[in-house]
Amino acid sequence: MPPFWVVGMVGVPVEIDPETGVVAVDQLVTVADVGFAINPRAVEGQDLGAATQGLGSALREELVYDGAQLANANVVDYRVPRVSDLPRKIDLVIAERRDGVGPYGAKGAGEGTLTPIGGAVAAAVARAVGRWPDRLPLTPERVWRLMSSD
């Protein structure tokens, strides 16, 4: 079988509350090269889901252990993004190069926009505070400490 690949890009400006370290994402732009969008609405849904998942892992989702026991094994303690947590403006751009191995040159959808979100958010935070974070998620406490360190 020929190789399979996906390509995607993300732009995500952030605002940071200097007192709390809360990172606000009001806009998100994704570009996904899906080869050929056989069903464009389904591709948009995949990209929106991937963007939501990526923002969750970049800003809040973290497994917490107490010894060997998972301490946040439910949706109350392990907070995934809600609709109210999403940016107010989301632009999902579908690029079609028709160079995939699927029908009509199709490739995967979703993976290309999920993968770069953590790095894009980290880069935006680094630009805002002048220091690169060393891990995700960028929780308010971590961002506040990043801003406060010398």
Sequence spans of domains, the chain: 7-148
Tell me: the pLDDT tens digits for 52-88? 999 999 999 999 999 999 999 998 889 899 898 899 9
Pick the CATH number of 7-148 from 3.30.365.10, 3.30.300.130, 3.30.70.20, 1.10.486.10: 3.30.365.10
Instruction: Report the alpha-carbon distance of residue 76 to residue 130 in Å, rounded.
Output: 33
Nearest to 98 by CA among 89, 90, 107: 107
Which pLDDT score, from 0 to 100, does residue 48 have? 94
Model confidence at 2, in pLDDT bands (50, 70, 90)?
low
Tokens, residue 32: 């996904």
**Residue 118: other Cβ atoms inside 10 A:** 20
Nearest-5° Cα angle at 102, 96 to 104: 55
